[in-house]
Amino acid sequence: MKLKATFAIAALVSLFASSAFAAGDAARGQTLYATCGACHGAQGEGMQALNAPSLAGQEEWYVIRQLQNFKNGIRGTNPKDIFGMQMAPMAMTLPTEQAIEDVAAYIKSLAD
């Protein structure tokens, strides 16, 4: 019984760990990031004039969550949120979850 419980816990930890960490490809993400760089800067440094925050070194989970929020209408739909409304259609240019993970991996690789 103890052995079965140990295996069950190990399986759950493994399942959680695989979903908690992005499996993005930074090299593919670099290509996809070209559109993002127009506002966030080529090195993810941000652009104050456009109110685009720095992204360099941001954690993958955070970038993934925010891009998903924009794509799913959780962010960027309030007419008072001008900058969010600008970001929402940009997030839509990432067609798949893998593309989001790739961009997040690339952003994480940028020096902050």
Say if CB 52 and CB 40 are below 8 A apart: yes
- CB 111, CB 57: distance < 8 Å: yes
Q: Which domains does the chain have, with CATH numbers?
A: 24-109 (1.10.760.10)
Report helix, strand or coil for 58: coil
Phi/psi of residue 47, nearest 5 degrees: -140, 110
- In this predicted model, what pLDDT tens digit does every residue of 8-64 receive, in sequence order? 454 444 444 444 555 899 999 999 999 999 999 999 999 999 999 999 999 999 999
- Whole-model pTM? 0.78
Question: Buried b / exposed e across 69-91, counting CB within 10 Å, b at 16+?
Answer: bbbeeebbeeeeeeebeebbebb
